[in-house]
A and B are shown apart, each in its own frame.
Chain A
Amino acid sequence: AQTVTQSQPEMSVQEAETVTLSCTYDTSESDYYLFWYKQPPSRQMILVIRQEAYKQQNATENRFSVNFQKAAKSFSLKISDSQLGDAAMYFCAYRSELSQGNLIFGKGTKLSVKP
């Protein structure tokens, strides 16, 4: 069974600085998708960024980028120029190409942004 591990329960970053959130996963599959979701206090899940495992190029979305290391099964999220609105819970998630689409989530990292 696949597992997703986020080893940082909490992280803090100064406004305008850069922070990296860690995520590792375990799978025997070669085709899958990885996601980072943001859950602000409203608890609405928001997709931040996604990565297809077959793509070698790391995904980027504006201030958000990932470092995808397939061999190491690592998928970290870098947030540049952190803003107060980035404060939230961040969940790393895995989806198998073979699945019905269900996501396997890590336990989450609570990110605080200091003004």
Chain B
Amino acid sequence: GAVVSQHPSRVICKSGTSVKIECRSLDFQATTMFWYRQFPKQSLMLMATSNEGSKATYEQGVEKDKFLINHASLTLSTLTVTSAHPEDSSFYICSAWRRGGGNEQFFGPGTRLTVL
């Protein structure tokens, strides 16, 4: 199957700082990527849909100014958590959608963010 990487896998930061998470599709082009958030023992909640070359589409209740998404190329989307606070601590997972064929989404390994 296709491979999606995320970097970093873990990050600890101080409250008020910004953190950037990268999501890369390594062996296919992904015009659409998705960012999910998962709290402990809970399901994945879609935060936003990232489209290459255009603005991201955010789900209701997700602050677009706090969670900045940039999909600058067909293989890279970034999520920047600005002015992070302890309540932003969570597990962030990206996925890349490979159109055609199985129309399948491939998930990255996730990033654990801890804000002190």
Interface positions of A (Cβ within 8 A of B): 33, 37, 42-47, 50, 91, 100-108
Contact = CB atoms under 8 A, between A and B. Distances in A.
Contacts of B38: 43
Given A45-B93, A101-B49, 20 more contacts: A37-B107, A43-B93, A44-B107, A45-B44, A45-B95, A50-B104, A91-B43, A100-B32, A100-B49, A100-B97, A101-B32, A101-B97, A101-B99, A102-B49, A103-B34, A103-B44, A103-B46, A103-B105, A105-B45, A107-B43
User: Which DSSP category, helix, strand, loop or mixed, fits chain A's interface?
Assistant: loop
Contacts, number: 51
17 contacts: A37-B107, A43-B110, A44-B110, A45-B44, A45-B107, A47-B1, A50-B102, A50-B104, A100-B49, A101-B32, A101-B97, A101-B99, A101-B105, A102-B34, A102-B49, A105-B43, A107-B43
Nearest to A44: B109
Q: How large is the interface on B (under 10, 10 to 19, 20 to 34, 35 or more residues)?
A: 20 to 34
B110 A101 contact: no
B98 to A, nearest CB: 9
Contacts of A50: 102, 104
B28 interface: no
A47, A50, A91, A101 interface centre (most CB from chain B within 10 Å): A101
A2 to B, nearest CB: 12
Interface string B98-114: 01001111010110000
